Structure formats: C-alpha cells, structure tokens
Structure 1
C-alpha cells in the first residue's frame, strides 16, 4: 500500500490472493467500487476494498450467481437479511434441480432394468414428461371435469385431493405410473371431460352439488379411516353419510328403495378407475378419493345383497 493509503489493482489482487483479471471483473460489474484513479488513469482501491473482495469470494464459493451477489452487497447494511433471502432462493432452486436429477435417475433405471421389448413404449412415455414432472395435466382435467355450479371452495378442495404430488425421491415404478397418468390425460384422442362425468353433474337432474360434495367429502374421509384399518366394506356411519349426501342433494329420503336405486346408478367408469389406480401407484398406500369411493360403493352393494337375502328368507 502506498503512502496515500491506496492499492493498485495488482496490489489488491495480491492481498486477496486472486488474479488481476478477477479484480477487474468484479470492478467492471460494479461489485467492487474503486476509490480513485491515479494520474495515469489506473484504478486505486482503499483498504475497505479488501474486505469487500473477500466477501464477494465467500458468496461466490456458495455458487451464488453474480447478480445475486450484487443484490446482497447493495443491502450491506442489512447483510444478514439480504443473504437470507438470496440463500432461500438458491435452496429452492437447488431443491428443484436435485428433484429433477432424482427423477432422471429413476427413469434411467426404469429403462435399463426393463425387458428390451418394453423399452420403446417406456421411452415414448418418458419423453412427454418433464423432470421433475408437472401436475398441470391432472389439474386441468379435474377443473374441467367438475361442474361449474360447484362452489369454488369445494372445487378447490377436490382438485387438491385429486392431484397426486410427485415424490421427491421416486422409485422407477412411480416414474412409470406418473408417465402413464400423463399419457392417460393428454393422449390423442384426448378424452372429453364430459365423457366420464357422473349423472349427478347433469343440470336437468337438479342435484344440489354443494350438498352432494360436502357429504361425499365427509363420507370419503370416514371410508379412508376404514381402509387404513383394513376393514372390508360394511354398513355403518361412512355408508350412511354417503347415501344421505345423495338423497339430500335430490331432496329425497334415505330409504331401502332409494339405496337400491342408488346402487344401480353408481356404475364404475373405466377411465376414472384407471386414473385412481395410477394415482395410488404414484402416491403410496394412503387411500385416495377413488379408493374411498370404491369402498363406499362396495359397502352399498354388500348391504343390497344382504337385504335381498333377508327378503328371500321371509315367508
């Protein structure tokens, strides 16, 4: 350092253990302001530049991009807060990149470990899915499938429960399930949402959809508890709630005759059944809405069978 307390660019570089090119790079981008210029126009730096340069290098060792480093330095008076914001963003970005790598790794295992004749189909399926995958396709399907008359709060809750969240560390089987789900929802010809809608969505039948789906949501929750406990479909609170939702939505009473008719009306749809099957393969053992609905339909069928049997036994 010369008598005026200033360093040349070379002296600052030597003090910091970096190259002159590095100092010039950060200076040119405004991260390392020069204190003055010599008579010959050369850059001059004060002692504070060394601390600033060391801080820049520390931030860069965290792989922070230069623009993010600049944002931290602009708020040097609140360095901790600024750094926390930038690091939070970097952690989110890194998490996304790691998730993408895990999905790609699982996809590679899926292709490597399958039979050669299966590879063309699986490669085609995987080629249409991003890594990590987007849930936009199932979200679009359910929002178009649900009737516009359904209250917004219920629609949002159903959509949220119906969309499988891709696991952060998927197995090859889960990657395949998601790829097949995506193909199901985006295949050509793409299925019309009206194709698999239940009769209750038809306006002319006059269902109160708010009452119906409020009740179905509660019934599904009760059925899910029975599924977790590995209880077979049976009469009880869950079934009563399920039937009551259908009856009240039509302004009717829950009677044996109504239950008998309802059992015939609730036919399974292969497309929706396939969706929930893939949803379960992707999401794991916790019962989804489809599994709960199947359990409730089976409970209704079981009750109907028993009722018929009792009637036959009566003189």
Structure 2
C-alpha cells in the first residue's frame, strides 16, 4: 500500500511522496543518473533504497540554492567537495547580486529622471564597468588632455588618483552623476578647453610663475567676494572697487608685481582661461560618485571677480 516491498525498496511514487517531489521530477533525476534506482521489478518498474532518499534530498536542496545539475552531479560523484561547489556558487551569487543592485539603481534613475532609451542604455553600460575600466577611462582622459602639454605634475597626479568608485549598491544620484562624468570626459570641446588651460599654465610656469602661489589666494578671494555677493555689491560700484583693490593688492604682494592695469589684465587673463564651469562640474560629479564632501562652488566667486576686473578697465 505504501509502495515499499519486503526488501525495504520503494517505488518511484513512494519516493516522490517521501521527498515531496513529483514523480516526473524523480524520474528525470533518475534518468540523468543523479538518483539511480537500486533495482527493478520483473515488470521493469524502478525500486529505490534509503540512499536514494538522501541523494534526492541533497539534489533538491542544491537545486533550490541555484546550483546547476553538472555541479550537483560532481558533488554526488565526489568529484568536487560540497564546500568547493558552495564557495564557487556563493561567489557567482555575489556577482549576480551586485549586478542586480546596479540594475536597480539604473531603473530607479530612469523612473525618476524620465531618461530616453539611449541614455538608459548608456547608464547601464557605464555602471557595469569594473573599477579597472573606470580607472582606464580617467587615465585616457588625462593622457589625451595633458599629454602634449608641460602640465602641472601635481594636478595630473591628482586627476589620475581621483577615480570614480561606485559602491556595490549605488544610489540613483551616483548612477546619474557617473553617467554625466563619463560623458564629460569624452566631450571633445571640454578636452580642448582643458588643453588650453594646461598650455597656459605651462607658459606661466616657464616664466617663473608658481601655480602654488596663485592657489594660496583662492581662500582670500572667496572670502572677499562672498562678502560682496552677500551684501549685494555689483561689479563696477564704489563698494566693488574697494573689494577689488584689496584683492589686486594681495596679488601684487604675492607675485611681486606692480599693482596697476597690467596686473589687473594679467589676473583677468588667468581667470578667463580657467573660466570653464565644466571643470568645477567635473569635481562636483566625482564627489557625488565617491561620497566625498561637496567641493566649494567657486564659479560665482570668480564670475564676480572677472566682472569686477572688466568693469575697472
């Protein structure tokens, strides 16, 4: 009645009931050799012993964990240990989980931004880049933009080291920032703008100018101009002229130049060469991707400084 004979062997139906699987599934595993029958009746019906129950339970468990039939067979035949198969499968699952998280981030970005199919495909492709591929993308950008100029080695080293590092589970903002950054590094016009900046900086260093000295002034410029902006001081007004005089006097002191119209023209040239807002955008996007503090916004500061110099003649 229960499908077990006097020798303790079970019919395929009894084995199916014992393990909670269908007869079709048990027959399939038996046909593939994963759970071979112990014996057959005179009429050719398969009979299974207690070992078949244990093998079938193991097969079912491993399959539910997503392990392929070939790997299951290797475990059953002792060609590979269960630990080895489990480790390999866990590694594969880790990769799959990371991929799924990245895909989820892209889909959320699409849902929130309403991006078109081309941008969606681009985001997905970029997010799937490995850390090494992202590094190569930045290195190619740096090589192309600074390769022909006597570039500032400290700036080049900084750019090479500042690689976008997407986390395993990126946010929507990180995904969109990475897509924009990748597109920015590929923009021929942006690259040409960076080359002009590098060439100008090389020219200034050849004349004995220290870029480091100019960087020392950035904080003071920010303080003076931020105060002017907060007070609503427009370029060309007497109050703006006072603020501008303080700044040009500081430049004259730091660079050892007369505080005159020539100095103002020299400062204006420097600001105009470095005026591309995409440079600031580059560092802002990188900070968003890597979870760094947002860099200070200097575009409004140097925009006011430039306008004030032009107004002064």
User: Normalised by the shorter chain, which TM-score bucket?
Assistant: 0.5 to 0.7
Which residue of 190, 194, 197 maps to 1:196? 194
Task: Kindly indicate whether the alpha-carbon contact (under 8 Å) linking 1:34 and 1:45 is maintained by their aligned counterparts in 2.
Answer: yes
DSSP-derived class of the 2:285 partner: helix
Q: Does 1:125 align with 2:119?
A: yes
**Could you say which residue in structure 2 is the equivalent of 1:278?**
285
Cα distance in 1 for residues equivalent to 2:65 and 2:170:
24
TM-score when normalising by structure 2: 0.54
Shift, 1:51, TM fit: 0.6
**Could you say which residue in structure 2 is the equivalent of 1:46?**
49
**Could you say which residue in structure 2 is the equivalent of 1:56?**
59
**Could you say which residue in structure 2 is the equivalent of 1:22?**
25
Cα distance in 2 for residues equivalent to 1:29 and 1:70:
9
Unaligned 5+ residue runs, structure 2?
A: 206-211, 221-253, 258-262, 306-313
Task: Kindly indicate whether the alpha-carbon contact (under 8 Å) linking 1:7 and 1:45 is maintained by their aligned counterparts in 2.
Answer: yes
DSSP-derived class of the 1:168 partner: coil
In terms of Rg, which structure is larger?
2
Which residue of 29, 37, 49 maps to 1:34? 37
Task: Kindly indicate whether the alpha-carbon contact (under 8 Å) linking 1:68 and 1:86 is maintained by their aligned counterparts in 2.
Answer: no
Cα distance in 2 for residues equivalent to 1:72 and 1:138:
38
DSSP-derived class of the 1:130 partner: helix
Q: Does 1:267 align with 2:274?
A: yes
Task: Kindly indicate whether the alpha-carbon contact (under 8 Å) linking 2:39 and 2:46 is maintained by their aligned counterparts in 1.
Answer: yes
Unaligned 5+ residue runs, structure 1?
A: 112-120, 208-215, 217-222, 224-231, 235-255, 302-315
Task: Kindly indicate whether the alpha-carbon contact (under 8 Å) linking 1:103 and 1:131 is maintained by their aligned counterparts in 2.
Answer: no
Task: Kindly indicate whether the alpha-carbon contact (under 8 Å) linking 2:166 and 2:174 is maintained by their aligned counterparts in 1.
Answer: no
Shift, 1:72, TM fit: 4.3
Cα distance in 1 for residues equivalent to 2:120 and 2:60:
41
Q: Deviations over 1:65-106 (max 9, x none)?
A: 444544544548832443233233223313421332243134
**Could you say which residue in structure 2 is the equivalent of 1:163?**
164
**Could you say which residue in structure 1 is the equivalent of 2:137?**
141
**Could you say which residue in structure 2 is the equivalent of 1:211?**
none
Task: Kindly indicate whether the alpha-carbon contact (under 8 Å) linking 2:12 and 2:48 is maintained by their aligned counterparts in 1.
Answer: yes
Task: Kindly indicate whether the alpha-carbon contact (under 8 Å) linking 2:190 and 2:278 is maintained by their aligned counterparts in 1.
Answer: no
Shift, 1:170, TM fit: 1.0
Task: Kindly indicate whether the alpha-carbon contact (under 8 Å) linking 1:72 and 1:83 is maintained by their aligned counterparts in 2.
Answer: no
DSSP-derived class of the 2:162 partner: helix
Task: Kindly indicate whether the alpha-carbon contact (under 8 Å) linking 1:125 and 1:183 is maintained by their aligned counterparts in 2.
Answer: no
Q: 1:56/1:101 Cα in 2 relative to 1: closer, same or farther (>3 Å)? A: same
Task: Kindly indicate whether the alpha-carbon contact (under 8 Å) linking 1:99 and 1:169 is maintained by their aligned counterparts in 2.
Answer: yes
Cα distance in 2 for residues equivalent to 1:158 and 1:31:
56
Size of the aligned set, in residue pairs, is: 240
Task: Kindly indicate whether the alpha-carbon contact (under 8 Å) linking 1:174 and 1:281 is maintained by their aligned counterparts in 2.
Answer: yes
